[in-house]
């Protein structure tokens, strides 16, 4: 009996030692709805930032469900989404050409969108905040109310234009060439006077020390930053 107790105690101690790193390590959830391979990005991030439990999500619903079920130490995603999450504070922001915002535009077929006549049109966008949040986001950027259609990934927008299921799609200006390279139809850009929005931020859970994660993110390679559509962090 004594030997059995000693064996069990030894087993428990080993189990604790094995599990301790995963219990104590930081968790980082990354959400991006662009056209990157999320599994490849996840593997690259895990290699670049050892000692941090990293999960990458390509769909808003999956990301939010995971955050609500197992809240991480930090999240890396759109600033508008971080602001909507409870208990997370932006600690680092991604930049492009020195700016923490990028211009969004409307893309349409053959003719630009008449921003003074939005009623009756359907404008599509990538869902990164849920129906209510995206309706407010799109309405603010285009300057008026219209019918909103949401998709899970940015590449899902092109078929909506091709088959006239939406008269325009809202997307970052730096994604226009991605669409033009994948379609033979004439795609026209409509600039938006109030079309700037945030890129990516690191949101850290309130009460957590952000120092290590901030340093880790700042040290990411150019390839990983490109996948996140960021040039630098500040």
**pLDDT (tens digit per residue) in 134-184:** 999 999 999 999 999 999 999 999 999 999 999 999 999 999 999 999 999
CB atoms within 10 A of CB 146: 20
- The pLDDT of residue 105 is 98
CA 110 to centroid of chain Cα atoms? 30
Q: Cα 155 to the chain's mean position, in Å?
A: 14
With vertex at residue 78, the alpha carbon angle to CA 182 and CA 190, rounded to the nearest 5 degrees, is: 45
Sign of CA dihedral 19, 24, 25, 29: positive
Are residues 137 and 80 in contact, defined by beta-carbon separation less than 8 angstroms? Answer: yes
Residues 218 and 177 both lie in one domain: no
Which residues share a beta bridge with 171? Answer: 105
Q: CA angle, corner 62, sides to 136 and 153, nearest 5?
A: 60
Q: Are residues 113 and 223 in the same domain?
A: no
15-47 per-position pLDDT tens digit: 444 444 444 489 999 999 999 999 999 999 999
Q: What is the pLDDT of residue 44?
A: 98
Give me 99's structure tokens.
């700016």
pLDDT at 25: 86
Count the domains in the chain.
Answer: 2
The residues, ordered by sequence, that sit 6+ positions from 8 with a Cβ below 8 Å of its Cβ are none
Residue-averaged pLDDT of the chain: 92
Whole-number pLDDT of residue 16: 42
Same domain, 205 and 219: yes
- Find the CATH number of the domain harbouring 146: 3.40.190.10
User: pTM for the complete prediction?
Assistant: 0.87
- Same structural domain for residues 183 and 204? no
CATH number at residue 23: 3.40.190
Residue 154: domain span = 101-197
Question: 85 and 110: one domain?
Answer: no
Beta-carbon contacts of residue 222 (< 8 Å; ≥ 6 apart) = none
Parallel, antiparallel, or unpaired: how do β-strands 26-31 and 52-57 relate? parallel
Asked if 159 and 109 sit in the same domain, the reply is yes
The stretch 86-104 carries a mean pLDDT of 97
- Are 153 and 221 in a shared domain? no
Q: In this structure, are 6 and 75 located in the same domain?
A: yes
The C-alpha atoms of residue 186 and residue 93 are separated, in whole angstroms, by: 35
Quick one: 205 and 94 in the same domain?
yes
Residues 72, 111: one domain?
no
Q: Are residues 85 and 173 in the same domain?
A: no
In terms of domains, do 26 and 85 share one? yes
């Amino acid at each position: 009996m004594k030997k059995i107790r000693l064996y069990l105690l030894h087993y428990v101690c080993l189990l604790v030692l094995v599990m301790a790193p995963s219990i104590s390590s930081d968790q980082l959830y990354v959400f991006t709805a662009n056209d990157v391979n999320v599994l490849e990005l996840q593997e690259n991030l895990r290699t670049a930032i050892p000692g941090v439990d990293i999960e990458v999500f390509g769909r808003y619903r999956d990301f939010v469900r995971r955050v609500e079920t197992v809240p991480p130490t930090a999240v890396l995603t759109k600033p508008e989404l971080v602001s909507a999450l409870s208990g997370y504070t932006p600690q680092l922001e991604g930049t492009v050409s020195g700016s923490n915002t990028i211009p969004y535009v409307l893309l349409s077929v053959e003719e630009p969108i008449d921003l003074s006549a939005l009623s009756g049109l359907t404008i599509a966008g990538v869902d990164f905040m849920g129906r209510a949040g995206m309706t407010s986001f799109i309405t603010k950027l285009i300057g008026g109310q219209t019918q909103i259609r949401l998709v899970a990934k940015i590449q899902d927008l092109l078929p909506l234009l091709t088959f006239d299921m939406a008269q325009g799609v809202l997307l970052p200006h730096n994604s226009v060439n991605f669409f033009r390279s994948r379609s033979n139809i004439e795609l026209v850009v409509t600039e938006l006077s109030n079309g700037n929005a945030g890129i990516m931020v690191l949101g850290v859970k309130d009460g957590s020390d952000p120092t290590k994660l901030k340093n880790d993110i700042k040290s990411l390679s150019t390839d990983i930053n490109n996948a996140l559509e960021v040039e630098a962090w500040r």
